Structure formats: structure tokens, C-alpha cells
Amino acid sequence: MNNRKKEFIEFMMGADVLRFGEFITKSGRTTPYFVNTGNYKTGSQIASLGKFYAELVRETIGDDFDCMFGPAYKGIPLAASTAAALYNEYGIDKPYFFNRKEEKDHGEGGSLVGYKPQDGDRVIIIEDVITAGTAVRETMPILYGAAKVEVKDMFISVNRCETGKTPGKTAIMEVGEDYGINVHAIITVADIYEYLKTTGNHDTMIPKMEEYMDRYCIL
């Protein structure tokens, strides 16, 4: 594990975003760890988070995209902070947009806020995690309904490496096959597991992580 990944894990733990215990995921699985980006709540936290995402975007695709989309609700501040960090850190100035859960029936109307995607736009998605891929399947009709866009890349905080609906395939593999999207994560569940083993402060969590990974993960 490199220092950047270690720094990000400690950043998430310090913000109470990466937590350990017993939780139920959106897919209904009981997991010993949980990532809740809704716990980011300060200016310094969201600024730092944007830098982590922006660094990953720049390293993987540079400025080879037209706009970024943050799915409601947690993806909204992620997309905004990433857009700001891309400009402040690397001079990459790209528009962003997000959706409302309920379509607005007054004023300008519609369900999208911010940039209005155009036919041919290359959109990247900024999200928190992928567990079973449910959120991606909800997001794609929104984007395809807005314009004839191209979506090749998605950026997330944590790749949980979990099986999706098809045995032997992770949700990320399924997303790639179904939509042609490459999912890039700042860290993976394997990074979290390795971190716990090296710190010596979470010995009780290690066997629980191993059991969960053996049952649900493809590494």
C-alpha cells in the first residue's frame, strides 16, 4: 500500500466516514465496515476529499472529458469538490451537474441542475462507493435521457470488490460489461484490510473482514 492510500484511509477514519462494526449495505448484506460520505461536514474535509478525487481523475484520464455528474444526493458535493480541486490544483476547468430526486415543476423545471449535457459529451460520474451496482443502474437512464452522451469512466472512493447479480463477477465488472464504464477507485477493500493488519489497533476486525471478503468479494 502506498502512502497516498494510507493517507486516504486515515482521512476517512478521522472524518468518521470509514467505520467498523456491523452494518447493512444497500444490497442487504451485513458488513463489518461501512463508508458513509454523508459524514463529511466541514470545509477542510470536503476540500481535502476533492483533492483526492481530482488527483485520481488527472492520473487516469487527465482532461479527456467534457463534464462530470454527481448523482443525488451524496454525489452532489463529491462532484462539486472534485470540479473545484481540478481547477485549483491542475487548472482543469470542467462543468458539473447533478440530479434532483424529484423533478421540479416550477421555475426552469426539470430534474438536472448545473451544466446541461449536450449530444456527444463525454461524461464522468463521481460517486462514493459501488456495492451491488444498484445506484449505477439508476443513474444511467438519467444521463442517457438528458442527451446522447458517452460515459466511459466513473470515480469512487472505495471499490468494495463485491459480487453483483452474476455469480463470479463483481458489481464493477457488471457495470463495465453492461455500460462500458471503467470504474476507478481511490482505494479498495483489500487496501483497508492491509491497513488494519499493519496498524495493530484493529485485531478483532481482521477475522470479520476476512470472513466477509471470502464470502462476497472477488480480489
Q: pLDDT by residue (tens digit) across 79-116?
A: 999 999 999 999 999 999 999 876 555 444 468 999 99
Surface-to-core class of residue 68, CB atoms within 10 Å of its CB (0-12 exposed, 13-18 middle, 19+ buried): buried
Angle at alpha carbon of residue 191, lines to 72 and 35, rounded to 5°: 30
Torsion of CA 15, 20, 22, 25, to 10 degrees: 60
Q: Is the pTM of this model over 0.75?
A: yes
Residue 181, C-beta contacts closer than 8 angstroms, at least 6 positions apart: 125, 136, 151, 152, 153, 154, 175
Where residue 137 sits, what CATH number does that domain have? 3.40.50.2020
pLDDT at 1: 74
| 50-59, 92-101, 130-139: least confident range | 130-139
Q: Residue 14: its pLDDT value, please?
A: 96
Contact indicator for 123, 155 with CB cutoff of 8 Å: no
- Active-site positions read 104, 106
Domain count, the chain: 1
Chain segment 161-194, per-residue pLDDT in tens: 988 888 889 989 999 999 999 999 999 999 999 9
Angle at 155 between CA 150 and CA 156, to 5 degrees: 140
Q: Give me the domain span that covers residue 23.
A: 3-216
